[in-house]
Amino acid sequence: MKLRWIAVPAAAVMMMAGQANAAMDQAAALELAKKSGCLACHSIEKKVVGPAWQDVGNKYKGKDEKARLVAKVKAGGKGVWGEVPMPPYSPRVADADIEGLVEFVLSLGK
C-alpha cells in the first residue's frame, strides 16, 4: 500500500518533467527566435539567407543530431547550407534557449 502512495506521485512528476522537455510551441519559438536575432536570416517555410527551418527539420528527421546542431548554433559555421556563414550565438543567446530552438526546428521535420 505504501509503495503505491510513492509510485503515483513519482509517475506524475516524471510525466510533468517530460512535458517540460517537449519542443516549445511555434509562438514561443518564434518569439524567442525574434528576440535572439534568428529571424534576420531564417524563416519556418522559406529560405532567407539561411535555410528554411522546415528544410533543416526534414534533413535531420529521425537522426540523432540535436547535440551536433546545438554545438553548430553555439559556434557558428558554414558550408552545409551554402557559403554564407552563420555567426556564433553563444554566449549571446543562453544555452537553454539554443537547445529549445534546435528542438523546435527538428520538430518541423516531416
User: Look-up: residue for cell 543567446?
Assistant: 93
List the domain boundaries for the chain. 24-107
The CATH superfamily label for domain 24-107 reads Cytochrome c-like domain (1.10.760.10)
pTM to 2 decimal places: 0.77
Bond prior to 91 in cis (omega within 30° of 0): yes
- CA of 71: how far to CAs of 2, 52, 76, in Å? 45, 19, 8
| pLDDT in 10s for each residue of the chain, 110 residues | 444 444 444 444 444 334 444 568 999 999 999 999 999 999 999 999 999 999 999 999 999 999 999 999 999 999 889 999 999 999 999 999 999 999 999 999 99
